[in-house]
Amino acid sequence: MQAHRPLLSWKLALYSPRQKLAQISPAQTIYHNATARVITTELLEAHLVRHLGRLDPPITPYPISSACRWARTRPNPDLTPFSLRQNRRSDRRSTHAITDLICSVPLWLTTATVQNFQARARETGGLRVDHHSPLQLSHLHQAGDKDRKLEANTSSDQRPLSAEYKYHRIPGRRSNEPRHACSCNSSLSISKCGAPMASPFSVPSLIMEEEGRFEAEVAEVESWWGTERFRLTKRPYTARDVALLRGTLRQSYASGEMAKKLWRTLKAHQAAGTASRTFGALDPVQVTMMAKHLDTIYVSGWQCSSTHTSTNEPGPDLADYPYDTVPNKVEHLFFAQLYHDRKQREARMSMPRAERAREPYVDFLKPIIADGDTGFGGATATVKLCKLFVERGAAGVHLEDQSSVTKKCGHMAGKVLVAVSEHVNRLVAARLQFDVMGVETVLVARTDAVAATLIQTNVDARDHQFILGVTNPGLKGRSLAAVLSDAMSAGKTGRELQAIEDEWLASARLMTFSDCVRDAISGLDSITDQEKQRRLREWETATGYERCVSNEQARDVAARLGVASVFWDWDLPRTREGFYRFRGSVAAAVVRGRAFAPHADVLWMETSSPNVAECTAFAGGVKAACPEAMLAYNLSPSFNWDASGMTDAEMSAFIPSVARLGYVWQFITLAGFHADALVTDTFARDFARRGMLAYVERIQREERINGVETLEHQKWSGANFYDRVLKTVQGGISSTAAMGKGKLPSCLSLRY
């Protein structure tokens, strides 16, 4: 035996049950049970004894479960875990690669044996042992220290240890045939069971290492969630759930950086009592012009539905366009931002310093907030939609609480809400996808509860107080759906059916249960007016909108106040589609805003008019429960601002006044659309009448006067930038440069 030969350079060979497949000195041979595919403890002991000499005391291995843990009970207090790891590698001389691992035989060894190993390591040289305790492993991985090792003689209390035996085989054999093997450079190395992990991009070399990497990622997610960014965010799932849904290849997204920028922008406005103001952008021209003056960009589903669907089929905002429509527009605009940012850098860094100091710098990378409508279906559809948004460049996404089946523009009639719990699920699904992708995308929760007239279901108690019911006992047993069905069977159609429905609703005396109870208490003849007022106050205290009591609880309170027999039925007036009647209000929006706040970053109440009183009520109601909530407001072009009753001065002050209430993001959804239409229509009309003079007066001169870069449209589109590309490719010169010799003379310039 060569007692002092370094272990790491030993050559090993394999034996099949029938024949030896490599000629190696018997003193350097380890036997392998090819059928069982594991190295037994006996063979391990024989190998260690053969090459390390007879140990005193002898090795006493104790096999344990392959799912070895440090926390498992030791067979003996003096024993410490010992694990044999068996890796298969590719034969470099073969075209077949074998990248899978492993067989593992966890064992227990005595401390004395460990010390003997350390002594042998000092004698042979070149052997390294792991110095870290089990509790240090997760910290090492988080710090990225995957390879730190210390010499065996650095500490007298080191405990090991696992022997690692690496081999390869000739591929192409069936599993039931003898495994032919060739001699290879292998190693027997001493390292602790569950040692610091290999690269996260490699196939795990040990089950324990795979689990260690997973646990480290769980810890990383938990640490991320503990930052200030997510201090107010609640999740019904754990960091382990997120890690389980991730792959082994970590990816990064440009939108993640833009999301952080958006968050900083909104928080800065919140601290200052101001607002980020923006509008819906249609195309790269608009998004680059907006960058000079605004700090965020909006992408409207309405604009996409009407001008840029994936199928090129325009239509109203019913969210019936392909669900990649808005993500595609986001990518269109985000790519334009990236391109003009590159183009500006090339231009500026090509200028002398003095000229660059005079040239204003434009931040083209303004965060994009995109319209996610209702999520386009169930939770899985929302997850896939949000994934697209992250991949395409969105820094923020908003989701609304309408039914995805009947979705309408916020300023159309016929809106149907989903239950509070269903929209919470949408928000959770979106947040989960963002967490899985490792991004901080800003999530905006919109509610249409102010103007909604229908709700999909009564399953959530938080919706009960706003659902309307029939209070006319004469309609008992005659539901609206049944009456309309009978009329259709009798041949009624169109206007006749509408007249029947209108008549039925007029006689139903629809109201909320709370209003019904108030009327019942006020109508009691057996009590004094003073007692009526006391009972009404008690009712308001017990069933105030912020308490969100269920209908069953409200009926118990009503019975206690002496109106148990009140007739109220919310099933009778249900529509033919099965929807319940809903009384929209700011109070309903507040209830929903409070429910959405723990799962969203910004809350948006859609309104039907620019009403400061409504804005104040919503902000006050939400902030009473969520004082740090950020709010958003749609400065809708659907409002008739001239008919709002505001003066020009009040209109000018509207954004700042609402911003002081906490509305940190304010936007005109369709301003890009309307501006495009206005300029095109007025110019086309004038051009038809006056020809080129109309263009010069309305467009070219105005571009020059206002310093609009599109005046030099070739430069704006990047001709100079790609001339730089050509010259770089061709060694610094190009005879085909777009802005070189041969370019048509032009007097176009932003300067006279």
> Using one digit for the tens of pLDDT, what is the confidence trace for 276-314?
999 999 999 999 999 999 999 999 998 998 898 888 888
> Of 193, 304, 386, 409, which is the active-site residue?
409
Residue 46's SS3 state is helix
Do the beta carbons of residue 288 and residue 708 sit within 8 Å?
no
Does 52 map to a domain? no
Are 432 and 524 within one domain?
no
For residue 411, how far is the Cα from the chain centroid? 28
Q: How confident is the model at residue 149 (pLDDT cuts 50, 70, 90)?
A: very low
Are 531 and 591 within one domain?
no
Residues 6+ apart with CB under 8 A from 504: 475, 480, 483
Q: How confident is the model at residue 367 (pLDDT cuts 50, 70, 90)?
A: very high
Mean residue pLDDT of the chain comes to 77
Are 590 and 577 within one domain?
no
409: annotated active-site residue: yes
- The region of weakest confidence among 51-60, 107-116, 259-268, 703-712 is 51-60
Are 407 and 440 within one domain?
yes
Are 347 and 397 within one domain?
yes
Calculate what percentage of the chain has a pLDDT beyond 90.
59
Q: How confident is the model at residue 233 (pLDDT cuts 50, 70, 90)?
A: very high
CA distance 34 to 343: 63
Scan for tokens 């691992």, then name that residue.
101
Instruction: Give per-residue pLDDT as tens, 474-487.
Output: 999 899 999 999 99
pLDDT of residue 84: 34
Are 414 and 275 within one domain?
yes
Does 437 map to a domain? yes
Scan for tokens 């700042």, then name that residue.
656
Does 18 map to a domain? no
pLDDT of residue 212: 85
Are 323 and 471 within one domain?
no
52 is written with which tokens?
């390390």
CATH number at residue 565: 1.10.10.850
pLDDT of residue 320: 81
Does 442 map to a domain? yes
pLDDT of residue 145: 33
Does 279 map to a domain? yes
Question: Does pLDDT of 541 surpass 70?
Answer: yes
Does 61 map to a domain? no
Does 309 map to a domain? yes
Are 659 and 713 within one domain?
no
Are 477 and 557 within one domain?
yes
For residue 371, how far is the Cα from the chain centroid? 14
- Boundary of a domain, candidates 539, 562, 581: 581
Residue of higher predicted confidence among 15 and 242: 242
Residues 6+ apart with CB under 8 A from 612: 654, 657, 658
pLDDT of residue 128: 34
Domain encompassing residue 590: 261-456+585-638+648-668
Are 492 and 628 within one domain?
no
Strand 630-634 versus strand 602-605 pairing type: parallel
Question: Does pLDDT of 239 surpass 70?
Answer: yes
- pTM greater than the 0.75 cutoff: no
Question: Does pLDDT of 93 surpass 50?
Answer: no
> What domain count does the chain have?
3
pLDDT of residue 67: 33
Does 228 map to a domain? no
pLDDT of residue 750: 60
CA distance 218 to 211: 10
Are 497 and 574 within one domain?
yes
Question: Does pLDDT of 71 surpass 80?
Answer: no
CA distance 153 to 486: 93
Are 368 and 442 within one domain?
yes
